[in-house]
């Protein structure tokens, strides 16, 4: 069973254009000198006027012997490099268009958008890390158009990183310890730190933000020592490193499964690596691997390749040195201001597949979180399973029509509980504030919910806030007066936070004693105790009504 779309961004069809959004025109003109060479960008006009530099290499092409390895800095170039077109995307399966995108393994490029190269003072920098379940996506402007941010005095950067097996193969060896895709992101952040001033940006005021797997990535940077000092603030939209889909605990098994599927049945990691490096990239992407032979199957394990705990090599070179749950519980969290939040109906991303997966919910223990199943006795799992089913399904059978009940469960279990849980730990360990939001706006820009035909289910679907942050030109998403107002207030909150560390005066920080949060809809509303009843239920399930904070 595959659950690949749970952390998916909107895939980006190339053919369809949105006539209701003013398209962007660009003319070559702007020149910038980086530490690796000179770039020619383009002045763009449309909804906003700005300067775009696209397809900037931030790493050496990860080809040949560099396949699966940590990235290396790029080579300098002579003359002026054209930076008016996006670089190739990582080879991937575009699930929503049901087609392959060939892309290229040479995909480590980023894009920079700025209002001016010569501001009166350096501008705040916002670095977007795209989602896509660690297997699909890119930073390209057909979906992540910068225009809404370019109404403000910020520099926006979007990045590509290696995906799926190319970015997340793990053999638990020094050659391939895992996390190459996360180290791509780290190298991109280093490039930004060293070069963004040339684009008008402030290298000492960098905010990283993302949605879904991009948000999980941001959260992983918060607990990674090798990311320390590369950013100053963070925003996590619909995902944190505690969410079980954000880290892989069976990566080595998956690697050998892939080798066997392709014709190499071996238990020698060196032999497997040589074989996988010899394969054409088309043989590596979008492979359907069989279920793992493990005691407790879980939806999260159908994300085949993703971040891992690195078991070999020096600590100062590992992206993750321990399980995210252990790092967070022990307060190993970057001391930076943070926004975390979620959409009101995250679980629609799973519920939409109900006709195909509802039988899984009949499996004993299936509704119990993986983290708990791996440390509990059979009796404890059964007891929790019964409590969860009674709470969400009221003793009713789960059928192929239980859309609302499954959406409610899968909003809380793989998303909201651990997002609030992360905020709780941050507020206990970190001196900088954490702000919590819930996104509820529903207009014609809520594309996913409509495309999934989930109108009968309450709430806002996973990632449906993205068209309120970015100018989407690859899908037919209208821009009306209703949505313009939401866009304006939503983007303003994010820009304020990136600029000052505070979203606005009314939005108060979250704490264990005062669980303040904002509801972002047609207007901004301020409350306490997000999803209070449901969160209390899960805190009892996890045994975390009171956090066991380690005193430092």
* CATH number, domain containing residue 20: 3.40.50.1820
Closest by Cα among 324, 538, 299 to 416: 538
* Residue that has been written with the tokens 């060196």 in this structure: 270
The verdict on residue 550 lying in a domain is no
* Residue that has been written with the tokens 């002579």 in this structure: 78
Closest by Cα among 370, 402, 404 to 384: 370
Q: How many CB atoms lie within 10 A of CB 253?
A: 16
57 - beta bridge partners?
109
State the SS3 of 71-93. Answer: CCCCCCCCCEEECCCCCCCCCEE
Q: Which structural domain range is residue 85 located in? A: 4-542
Closest by Cα among 132, 130, 183, 181 to 159: 130
Helices 532-542 and 417-429, packing angle to 10 deg: 80
Dist. CA 413–CA 346, nearest whole Å: 10
Which ranges of 398-480 would DSSP assign to H, the alpha helix? 403-411, 417-429, 447-451
Closest by Cα among 273, 531, 316 to 419: 531
C-alpha 16: how far from its chain's center?
A: 25
Q: Return the structure tokens found at 37.
A: 């060479």
**Three-point CA angle 168, 169, 174, nearest 5°:** 110
The verdict on residue 548 lying in a domain is no
State the SS3 of 184-216. Answer: HHHHHHHHHHHHHHHHCEEEEEEEEEEECHHHH
Number of domains comprising the chain: 1
Q: What is the SS3 assignment for 437?
A: strand
The verdict on residue 508 lying in a domain is yes
Dist. CA 420–CA 371, nearest whole Å: 16
Which DSSP category does 231 fall into? Answer: -
Q: pLDDT tens for the chain, 552 residues: list them.
A: 334 433 333 333 333 333 333 445 666 678 999 999 999 999 998 888 999 999 999 999 999 999 999 999 999 999 999 999 999 999 998 765 667 899 999 999 999 999 999 999 999 999 999 999 999 999 999 999 999 999 999 999 999 999 999 999 999 999 999 999 999 999 999 999 999 999 999 999 999 999 999 999 999 999 999 999 999 999 999 999 999 999 999 999 999 999 999 999 999 999 999 999 999 999 999 999 998 989 888 889 989 999 999 999 888 899 999 999 999 999 999 999 999 999 999 999 999 999 989 899 999 999 999 999 999 999 999 999 999 999 999 989 899 899 999 999 999 999 999 999 999 999 999 999 999 999 999 999 999 999 999 999 999 999 999 999 999 998 899 999 989 999 999 999 999 999 999 999 999 999 999 999 999 999 999 999 999 999 999 999 999 999 989 876
The verdict on residue 551 lying in a domain is no
Q: What is the pTM of this model?
A: 0.95
The verdict on residue 175 lying in a domain is yes
Q: What is the pLDDT of residue 316?
A: 87
Annotated catalytic residues are: 212, 346, 462
Q: What is the pLDDT of residue 297?
A: 83
Q: Is the separation of the CB atoms in 403 and 453 below 8 Å?
A: no
Determine phi and psi for 293, rounding to 5 degrees. Answer: -85, 75
Dist. CA 86–CA 97, nearest whole Å: 20
**Residue 531, by phi and psi: left (phi above 0), alpha (psi -120 to 50) or beta?**
left
The HSE-up count of residue 548 (CA atoms within 13 Å, CB side) is 7
Q: How far is CA 390 from CA 150, 153, 229, 466, in A?
A: 48, 51, 46, 34
Which DSSP category does 520 fall into? Answer: E
Closest by Cα among 423, 389, 409, 402 to 347: 409
The verdict on residue 552 lying in a domain is no
The HSE-up count of residue 285 (CA atoms within 13 Å, CB side) is 23
Determine phi and psi for 284, rounding to 5 degrees. Answer: -100, -25
The verdict on residue 100 lying in a domain is yes
* Residue that has been written with the tokens 């290229």 in this structure: 104
* CA Rg value for the chain: 22
The verdict on residue 367 lying in a domain is yes
């Amino acid at each position: 069973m595959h659950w690949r779309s749970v952390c998916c961004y909107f895939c980006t069809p190339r053919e369809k254009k949105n006539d209701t959004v003013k398209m962007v025109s660009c003319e070559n003109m702007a020149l910038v000198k980086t530490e690796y060479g000179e770039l020619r960008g383009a002045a763009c006009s449309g909804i906003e006027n700005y300067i775009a530099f696209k397809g900037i290499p931030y790493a050496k092409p990860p080809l040949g012997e560099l396949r699966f390895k940590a990235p290396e800095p790029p080579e300098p170039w002579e003359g002026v490099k054209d930076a008016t077109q996006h670089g190739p995307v990582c080879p991937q399966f575009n699930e929503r268009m049901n087609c392959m995108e060939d892309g290229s393994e040479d995909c480590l490029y980023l894009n920079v958008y700025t209002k001016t190269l010569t501001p009166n003072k350096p501008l705040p920098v916002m670095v977007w890390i795209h989602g896509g379940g660690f297997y699909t996506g890119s930073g390209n402007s057909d979906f992540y158009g910068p225009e809404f941010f370019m109404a403000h005095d910020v520099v926006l950067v979007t990045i590509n990183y290696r995906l799926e097996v190319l970015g997340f193969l793990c053999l638990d060896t020094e050659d391939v310890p895992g996390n190459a895709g996360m180290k791509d992101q780290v190298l991109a952040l280093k490039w930004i730190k060293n070069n963004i001033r040339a684009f008008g940006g402030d290298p000492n005021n960098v905010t990283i933000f993302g949605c879904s797997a991009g948000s999980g990535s941001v959260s992983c940077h918060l607990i990674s020592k090798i990311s320390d000092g590369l950013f100053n603030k963070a925003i996590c939209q619909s995902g944190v490193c505690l969410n079980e889909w954000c880290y892989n605990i069976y990566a080595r098994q998956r690697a050998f499964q892939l080798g066997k599927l392709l014709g190499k049945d071996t238990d020698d990691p060196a032999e497997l690596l040589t074989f996988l490096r010899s394969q054409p990239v088309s043989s590596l992407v979008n492979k359907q691997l069989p279920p793992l032979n493990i005691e407790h199957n879980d939806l999260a394990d159908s994300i085949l390749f993703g971040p891992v705990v690195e078991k070999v090599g020096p600590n100062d070179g590992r992206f993750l040195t321990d399980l995210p749950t252990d790092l967070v519980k022990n307060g190993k969290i970057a001391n930076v201001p943070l926004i975390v939040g979620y959409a009101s109906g995250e679980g629609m991303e799973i519920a939409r597949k109900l006709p195909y997966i509802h039988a899984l919910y009949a499996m004993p223990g299936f509704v119990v979180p993986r983290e708990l199943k791996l440390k509990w006795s059979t009796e404890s799992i059964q007891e929790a399973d019964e409590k969860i089913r009674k709470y969400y399904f009221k003793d009713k059978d789960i059928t192929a029509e239980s859309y609302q009940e499954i959406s409610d469960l899968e909003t809380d279990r793989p998303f909201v509980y651990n997002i609030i849980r992360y905020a709780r730990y941050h507020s206990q360990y970190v001196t900088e504030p954490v702000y919590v939001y819930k996104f509820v706006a529903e207009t014609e820009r809520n594309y996913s919910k409509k495309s999934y035909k989930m109108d009968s289910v309450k709430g806002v679907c996973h990632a449906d806030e993205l068209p309120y942050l970015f100018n989407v030109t690859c899908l037919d998403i209208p821009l009306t007066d209703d949505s313009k107002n939401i866009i304006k207030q939503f983007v303003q909150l994010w820009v304020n936070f990136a600029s000052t560390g505070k979203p606005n005066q009314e939005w108060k920080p979250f704490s264990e004693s005062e669980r303040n949060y904002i509801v972002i809809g047609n207007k901004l509303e301020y409350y306490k105790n997000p999803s209070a009843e449901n969160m209390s239920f899960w805190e009892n399930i996890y045994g975390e009504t009171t956090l066991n904070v380690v005193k430092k």
